[in-house]
Amino acid sequence: MMLPHATPVETAAEAETAVLLIRRTGARATPARLRVLRLLRAAPAALTHHQIEQALGDLAIDRVTLYRVLDWLVESGLARRTTDAQRTFRYSLAAGGEHAAHTHFRCEDCGRVFCLDAAPPVPPSLPEGFCLSRIELDLCGRCAECTGERR
């Protein structure tokens, strides 16, 4: 799946920001949180719990702890969580002004999920009494890599 085992080089400033981001939520800046946060930051796509475990490599953190770190990230607004077609959760860093509209591209071959920043689509009309809070646009198909590889 070719995820970097560790971010190539990370400046002290970047690490600092991560710590501050965490502290600002009122939580402790633990190694587990820092590592997951950095990993998500470097990820080009939304990752599953399993992919994150793999990417952490040898210095693995406990399965349950990872779940808790991810939950915490979502709760504190630092990350967002979606379910993919294989009914597993995928996590990605929350963009600046989120919570309104979001666009994903899911590759049907490799299963990866890419977060695009396409324009928030039309606000469609809803049945009487329905109340809208979020719009999500899901595009399915093949990513560039898979299109190239297989035919």
Partner DNA sequence: CGACATTCGCAACTGTGTAGCATCTATGGG
Partner DNA sequence: CCCATAGATGCTACACAGTTGCGAATGTCG
Provide the annotated binding site: 107, 110, 143, 146
From the annotation, which residues make up the binding site for Zn(2+)?
107, 110, 143, 146
How deeply is 70 buried, as exposed, middle or buried, from its count of CB atoms within 10 A (0-12, 13-18, 19+)?
buried
Query: Long-range contact list for 83-87, CB < 8 A, 24+ apart?
Result: 84/46, 84/48, 84/111, 84/113, 85/111, 85/140, 86/111
Nearer to DNA, 28 or 151 (CB): 28
Q: Compute the distance between CA of residue 79 and CA of residue 95 in angstroms, rounded to an integer.
A: 8
Enter the tokens of residue 121: 């689509």
Among 2, 11, 144, 150, binds a copy of itself (CB under 8 A): 144
Nearer to a copy of itself, 24 or 50 (CB): 50
Binding status of residue 100 toward a copy of itself by CB under 8 A: no
What does 17 bind: DNA, a copy of itself, none (CB cut-off 5 to 8 Å by kind)?
none
Q: Compute the distance between CA of residue 121 and CA of residue 124 in angstroms, rounded to an integer.
A: 9
Provide the CB-side half-sphere exposure for 6 (13 A, CA).
9
Nearer to DNA, 11 or 86 (CB): 86
Nearer to DNA, 20 or 139 (CB): 20
Q: Which residues bind DNA (CB under 7 A)?
A: 19, 23, 27-33, 48-50, 61-65, 67-69, 71, 87-89
Interface with a copy of itself by CB under 8 A: which residues?
83-85, 87-89, 103, 105, 108, 114, 116, 118-119, 121-122, 124-145, 147-148
